Structure 1
Amino acid sequence: MNALSINPVDAARKWNAELKLAKREDEKFIERGDKIVKRYRDDRAGWATSGKRFNILWSNIQTMIPALYGKTPRAEVARRWKDSDPVGRTASVILERCLQYEIDHYGDFDSSIRLAITDRLLPGRGVTWVRFEEKEQAMPTDASPGIEGGEAQITPMAYKYECTPVDYVFWKDFRYSPARSWDEVTWVARRVYMSRSEGIKRFGEDFKQVPLVHEPIGLDELQKNGVESEDLDDMKKAEVWEIWCKTSKMVYWVAQGHSKTLDIKDDPLGLDNFWPCPKPLFATQTTDTLVPVADFSLYKDQAEEIDMLTNRIGMLVEAVKVVGVYDANQPSVQRMLSEGANNTLIPVDTWAAFAEKGGLKGVVDFLPLESVLQALAQCYNAREQAKQVVYEITGLSDIIRGASMASETATAQQIKSQYASLRLRRLQTEVALFSSEILRTKAQIMCDFYSPRTLYEMSGIGGTQDAQYAEQAIMLLKSEPSRGFRIEVAADSLVEMDESTEKQNRLEFLTSVGTFMERVLPVAQQVPELAPLMGEMLMFGVRAFKGGRSMEAAFDSALAKLNEPKPPAEPQPDPEQMKMQAMTQVEQTKAQIEQAKLQTQGQIEQAKLQASLQIEQFKAGQAQNLEIMRQQAETERAEMKARIDAETKITIAQMTAQAAEKPAVSVQIEGENHLQKVGDEVKMMADQAANILSDQQNNISTLTFG
């Protein structure tokens, strides 16, 4: 059987009948639940009692909610067998991060669980519903050069938006097939209210024929006040039932008052348990029916007794006041009570008659309050006893409520807490299983319908040490049923945990690991063969700690390097042989030192001889150069002398020729000056030649003896 082969009219008729049968079985439950909700909200309409009341229901619910759901649960995905499986570990990290991202990013998970717990504690049934959404959305990419207007145009890129919302289902909007246990249920349904536009968008034009049977409260008054009918129609909604049939593995959508089904689909999610909702949070149940009995119904009589006592206490408190009677002939008595103030005297006209009657005692008498006060005290005691009975019925001890006697010992308080937590622990377990089942449903939808890219980017696994296993891990998540054999999904404790507890858990982990390594490292160094065993023992302990999972990859890497095969160690030689080898090496070293010493001395002598030969050769070369320079100097001196003699003769001849024209004294003076000048030049040239010879000799001496 498939969706196309089913007659929409027949299917609608069948499911409308099933829904009516389920509604008939829930009638008493719904009626009782409405009263309990009104009692919790302190709505006085519809209750027989009036006057003052003690809302113990509100007090108990406000005490139980934080005890059952102290904080938003965190997803826990771990390897089923806690063994060495890097691919399974990476798959667990990917799935856990994706679940935690949606828990943190969307508020539907937390709010739906809180509302379901409230319904569990009040009417007695809490329900949530998981669904899958996939939308095509445009994501802008980098700006590309545009043509129009000369501005850059942003090119949108379509991508899939995938998520698994968790919807809260109102306790009246949930129905199921009549059964004795949840395992016998064959179908579940939830009611959704849809406007005309929403229905047409979801089911098409056929939804125009669906009657809008749900009208909000106060619509009649708006119509009387002259609101247009079109506006009133927009406020009306249709009741659409989404029915999941486990027998046929199909989903049906039926609208109340419509003769045909709106839609029929084969199993759209393919979940292991088929239902898109976990088992509801039920209150007290028996084995003959699934219809729960609210907790308040079990102590309703005691709550009414407390209300009666509270109302009576209020009346007695109003009666505790000063009232009485007085003699009408003495109006001053009335003035004393109405006008009297501190240090004020009221005059009396007939004092003698007033005193004769006994004064105030004779003219006034007050209502006695002793009996009223005694009755008030008894009412207070009776109410406290009635409250204790309620606490015994509900299991709320004074430890849970934060009250205790100073005289009680710590052991007595601990015993109370343990006994009180027996029933509370059962409720906490139910809520934890409820949350875990929601997470398992979300996880299966993620694995089956999310794209690998979405899983990779949402988890951020690329920035971890396990990035190398990401592809294999995603393949494992996509494979069914292999992933169920290797990983499991759960929720952590829902009880409030403060930061000090978290720090204590981490310190406990570090202390345990540090103590273990401190003890086994010396053993592993002495006996390297035990190192692999010590490593497995360490990982056995690390995997047991929740905080150790994030460090497990680092531990695996360190142990892998530690267990790498090392080259075999060389055998230890014989001590005597080592001694002989050492002595032989010493003798060889001495001989090498002596040989090196002789070679060094020979090299030194040879260097000295070569230096002496080089000095002698240099001296001979310098002497030869000096002789050449001396000869050159002598030659230059002779040439200079000849030049000077020639110039002198020329000068003398010139002077002789001039002598005939000038006086003798002038000629003599000029001759003497000229001879003086020539003599100075000759002296200067001689000094230069002497300096050159002296410098040459100094250079020779320096090279010879330096």
Structure 2
Amino acid sequence: MDEIVTGQPADAPETPAPKDYRAFLTQVETREKLIQDKFSKPGDEIWEIYAGDQAEKTPFNILYSNTEILVPNVFSAMPRPIVSRRHKKKNEDLAARAAQEMASYCMDTNLSGYPSYLDAVETAVLDAALPGQGQIRGRVVNGIACIDYVPFKNFIWGYSMRWEEMPWVSFRHDKTKEDLVRELGLQPDVADKIVTASEEGDDAAKDKGPPTIAVYETWNKATKKVLWLTAAHPQCCVLEQDDPLQLEGFFPCPENPLRFIHTSCSTMPRSLYNLYKVQAEELNKVSDRIKRLINAIRVRGIYNGNLPELVQIFADGTLENALIPATQASVMSNDGGLDKQIWLVPVEKLAATLQQLFVARESIKATIYEILGIGDILRGVSKASETLGAQEIKDRWGSARVRKAQSRVALFVRDSVRLLVELAAKHTPPEIWQEATGIELPHGVQAMLLQQSGQQTMTWELVLGALKSDIRRSFVVDIETNSTVDAEATQDRQDVVEFMNALNQAMSGLAPLATQGPEGFQVAQDMLLAICKRFRLGNEIEGSIGAMKFSPPGGDEKAKEMEKQLADAKKKLEQQHQAIQKEKESLSQEHMSLEQLRSTIKADKIIANADYKAQKADLQIMMQNIQAIVKQQATLAKIPPGRK
């Protein structure tokens, strides 16, 4: 079973659904039944014819043949988005570049677990060519925008004469109760009220495998809410969400599904097969008659039983370039030879009828081709022996009728790319934008600090702000597809030649204007850009032409002179720098010498101070000794002579 991927962010607001949505569910189911009767069931039959499931009824499968001719002529290559800025502002240029790189990344992420963009669009184109309507939808998976295919039987839409006024769209999901509870994250009180067919005691449902529940993911444009409706719940709604994707058009799909037949009186699809169904049934009848006649045209007859050699001729399949001896040659010669002995059943009338049936079948095929415009494609097939003029005429014939279908597919693809960019702008974080586009810009806390410091710099918040705003985005970027069909090599070469001729003539004619000062150069540049936009190759060099700057006459010589002066000044500065470096080294050496001398003087001073202190100590000791001797002598002088 397919897993439901709602595409809403993880923090999308979810509220319980206490209301009774029985009337709304009845409206959706009634509309589904009408769509099934008029579109889905006939579409299943058409798919069966295309796939060869009704080979007995369709001996000539013209539907498969026509589809395999038409579809590759309207979509056969991965489109490449072209995003161009509409104003000459830096943030808009970055927004256009970022949008183009992100769209290319989302269209081909090369990651497993994400829907394939090419497969989704190819299947939608095939649905448009067979049942009559193809549809896709946008999702957000793990922060990455992607496009997913919507089966034509699961897409339901409301009552409206125009798609622009559509009140609601719904996507049917058939899920088991366990999958539904797990994927939607339903609360236990809501999950307990869901009743499946087996829980109701339906024995027939039990024999068909695990019981499933029909759930309608309904996007109501009036209330901007997504309702998950089902008859298995008493209140008919298991979940109610507030606009999870915040898209400009609210619906998660292109505003107009892909159709090759448009009417102004109804939104009910019309199949291309219904345009030639009567002729296709007639073609099958003729092919069946041709088959029967071919089986009837056989070599049958009788022969003369008296000639046993005739049996050997027709019975032995190994005989080739061989002669058989005749036992009764006289009988054959008397009766007029061998051809008179064999009587075959006449088939001339059957062969004539068969030839007329072949002519009738080719006539019916031509009528069908004219109805679909495939005859124009066949007439556009040229031969190598034809002249260039004949080939050009056939080329115009071959694309005249198909060009309208190609434009419808191109618009459908363009809308899908715009949906991708809008989803990515609103739900993809700046970190993924930076990794996917390769554009290095500050974001988050870093951007906030730069803004607080007063620095004027581009940030991811500013770029994505231009893409998030519905009005600003429509005026900033223009998303188109360069091609959805493989172009012929000769056509590509012719386009290149035409572009180069137009560019050469434009530059020659605008050269005098470009030399009339900056204003004239700006006018010439704008005119040249306008011409480039008319060609596919011009879109690739538009940025380079826009980056060209005005250069006055003689500017090259002045520039060379200025470069020479700058080189001389740079050389002088280098010489001065070298001289300063040498002087700096010399001063550094002198400084080191002074430091060494200072250290020596300091050491000598320390030694001299030590010697001075030692001599002072010795002198003090000597003075003390002298004073002691003088004192002793004075004492001896005071003693009487008889006592001495």
CA shift for structure 1 position 38: 1.3
Instruction: Please tell me whether the aligned partners of residues 301 and 342 of structure 2 are also in contact (alpha carbons under 8 angstroms).
Output: yes
Question: Which residue of structure 2 lines up, in the alignment, with residue 317 of structure 1?
Answer: 294
How does 1:593-612 map onto structure 2 within 5 Å?
Answer: none
| Correspondence for 1:645 | none
Write the distance in 2 (CA, Å) between the matches of 1:514 and 1:288: 50
Residue number in structure 2 paired with 1:377: 355
Q: Which residue of 1 aligns with 2:158?
A: 177
1:418 to 393, 396, 399: 396
Q: Secondary structure at the match of 1:291?
A: coil
Show the counterpart of 2:227.
Answer: 252
User: In structure 2, do the counterparts of structure 1 residues 124 and 377 end up closer, same or farther at CA, with 3 Å as the change threshold?
Assistant: same
Cα distance in 2 between the residues matched to 1:418 and 1:565: 49
How far 1:288 sits from its partner (Å)? 3.3
Task: Indicate whether 1:326 and 2:303 are aligned.
Answer: yes
Give the direction of change, closer, same or farther, for the CA distance of 1:298–1:356 in structure 2 (3 Å limit): same
Please, what is the CA RMSD of the aligned residues? 3.8
State whether structure 2 residue 185 is matched by structure 1 residue 203: yes
Task: Report the CA distance between 1:41 and its aligned residue.
Answer: 1.4
> Which residue number in structure 2 is paired with residue 96 of structure 1?
100
CA 1:563–1:117 in 2, change beyond 3 Å: closer, same or farther?
farther
Please name the residue that 2:26 is paired with.
16
Q: CA deviation at 1:112?
A: 0.7
Residue 129 of structure 2 is aligned to residue 126 of structure 1 = no
CA contact (8 A) 1:190 1:243 kept: yes
CA distance in 2, matches of 1:401, 1:353: 61
Q: CA 1:14 to 1:399, structure 2 compared with 1: closer, same or farther past 3 Å?
A: closer
Is residue 2:326 matched to residue 1:347?
yes
The gaps in structure 1 that reach 5 residues or longer are 136-161, 225-231, 569-706
Determine helix, strand or coil for the equivalent of 2:360.
helix
Residue equivalent to 2:80: 74
Listed as ranges, the gaps of 5+ residues in structure 2 are 1-12, 442-455, 559-644
Q: Distance in 1 between matches of 2:257 and 2:43?
A: 16
Instruction: Look up the match of 1:428.
Output: 406
Aligned residue among 274, 278, 298 for 2:250: 274
Aligned to 1:241: 216
The answer for the alignment partner of 2:472 in structure 1 is: 482
Match of 1:34 in 2: 44
Go from structure 1 to structure 2 and tell me whether the alpha carbon gap of 1:454 and 1:254 turns closer, same or farther (over 3 Å shift).
Answer: same
Letter in 2 for 1:203: G
Q: Among 10, 18, 22, which residue is 1:7 paired with?
A: 18
User: Partners in 1 of 2:513 and 2:261 — Cα distance?
Assistant: 58
Structure 1 counterpart of 2:90, from 86, 103, 112: 86
**2:175 pairs with 1:165:** no
Residue 501 and residue 382 in structure 1: after superposition, are their counterparts in 2 closer, same or farther (change >3 A)?
A: closer
2:7 corresponds to? none
Q: What is the alpha-carbon distance in structure 2 between the residues aligned to residue 316 and residue 504 of structure 1?
A: 51
Query: Residues 384-403 of structure 1: matches in 2 within 5 Å?
Result: 384-397=362-375, 399-400=377-378, 403=381
Give CA-to-partner distance per residue, 1:110-159, whole Å, 9 cap, x none: 111100111111111111111223x4xxxxxxxxxxxxxxxxxxxxxxxx
SS of 1:172's equivalent in the other structure is: coil
Alignment CA distance shift 1:36-1:359 (3 Å): same
- Tell whether the 8 Å contact from 1:461 to 1:470 is kept in structure 2 after alignment: no
- CA offset digits 1:619-646 (Å, max 9, x no partner): xxxxxxxxxxxxxxxxxxxxxxxxxxxx
Measured at CA, do residues 189 and 527 of structure 1 come closer, stay the same or move farther in structure 2, by a change above 3 Å?
closer
Distance 1:199 1:499 in 2: 51
Determine helix, strand or coil for the equivalent of 1:26.
helix
Provide the rounded CA distance (Å) in 2 between the counterparts of 1:555 and 1:405.
41
Q: Is the 8 A contact 2:381 2:395 kept in 1?
A: no
Task: Report the counterpart of residue 175 of structure 2 in structure 1.
Answer: 194
TM-superposition CA deviations, 1:213-256 (whole Å, max 9, x none) = 69xxxx999969xxxxxxx43xx433221101112221101134
What is the aligned counterpart of 2:60 among 47, 54, 60?
A: 54
> Deviations 1:82-110 (Å, cap 9, x if unpaired)?
x5333322211111110111112256211
Displacement of 1:262 after TM fit? 1.5
Q: Secondary structure at the match of 2:233?
A: coil
Distance 1:288 1:213, change over 3 A: farther
Match in the other structure for 1:666 = none
Deviates further, 487-496 or 399-408 = 399-408
State the alpha-carbon separation in 1 of the partners of residues 102 and 181 from structure 2: 33
In structure 2, the CA distance between the partners of 1:416 and 1:547, relative to structure 1 (3 Å rule), is closer
* Correspondences of 1:449-464 after superposition (within 5 Å): 449-462=427-440
Q: Deviations over 1:373-407 (max 9, x none)?
A: 22222111111111100101111125447656899
* Contact kept? 1:196, 1:208, Cα under 8 Å: no
Correspondences of 1:359-370 after superposition (within 5 Å): 359-370=337-348
Task: Report the AA paired with residue 185 of structure 2.
Answer: F
Please report how far the alpha carbon of residue 519 of structure 1 lies from its aligned counterpart in structure 2 after TM superposition.
Answer: 6.4
**What secondary structure is seen at the aligned counterpart in 2 of 1:284?**
coil
Cα pair distance change 1:75/1:301, threshold 3 Å: same
Change (3 A) 1:384 1:108: same
* Cα contact 2:135–2:257 (8 A) shared by 1: yes
User: Cα deviation per residue 1:194-231 (whole Å; 9 max; x = unaligned)?
Assistant: 344432222324346545569xxxx999969xxxxxxx
Larger Rg over CA atoms: 1
Query: Amino acid of the residue matched to residue 419 of structure 2?
Result: T
- Supply the distance in 2 between the matched residues of 1:541 and 1:416 (Cα, whole angstroms): 28
Q: Which amino acid aligns with 1:104?
A: D
Q: Is the 8 A contact 2:157 2:170 kept in 1?
A: yes
Checking the alignment, whether the CA contact within 8 Å between 1:477 and 1:483 is kept in structure 2 is yes
Q: Secondary structure at the match of 1:293?
A: coil
Contact 1:191 1:240 (8 Å CA) reproduced: yes
Inter-partner Cα distance in structure 2 for 1:563 and 1:238: 78
SS in 2 for 1:77: strand
- Cα separation, 2, equivalents of 1:480 and 1:369: 75
Matched residue of 1:188: which SS? strand
For residues 620-635 of structure 1, what are the structure 2 equivalents within 5 Å?
Answer: none
- Checking the alignment, whether the CA contact within 8 Å between 1:180 and 1:287 is kept in structure 2 is yes
1:659-674 to 2 correspondences below 5 Å: none
Establish whether residue 495 from structure 1 lines up as the match of residue 485 from structure 2. Answer: yes
Q: Is the 8 A contact 1:462 1:470 kept in 2?
A: no
Shift of 1:430: 1.1
CA distance in 2, matches of 1:519, 1:501: 27
Return the offset for 1:360. 3.2
Whether the 8 Å contact between 1:285 and 1:291 is mirrored in structure 2 is no
Residues 5, 27 of structure 1: alpha-carbon distance in 2 compared, 3 angstrom cutoff: same
CA contact (8 A) 2:120 2:149 kept: yes
1:689-700 to 2 correspondences below 5 Å: none
1:445 aligned to 416, 423, 444, which one? Answer: 423
Q: Equivalent residue of 2:267, what SS?
A: strand
Aligned CA distance change for structure 1 residues 485 and 319 (closer, same or farther; 3 Å): same
1:586-612 per-position Cα deviation (integer Å, ceiling 9, x unaligned): xxxxxxxxxxxxxxxxxxxxxxxxxxx
Opposite residue 179 of structure 1, the aligned amino acid is S
Residue number in structure 1 paired with 2:639 = none
Indicate how the Cα distance of structure 1 residues 42 and 552 shifts in structure 2: closer, same or farther if over 3 A, else same: closer
**In the alignment, is the contact (CA less than 8 A) between 1:187 and 1:246 conserved in 2?**
yes
In 2, Cα distance between the equivalents of 1:245 and 1:285?
A: 24
Q: How far apart are the structure 2 equivalents of 1:491 and 1:178?
A: 32
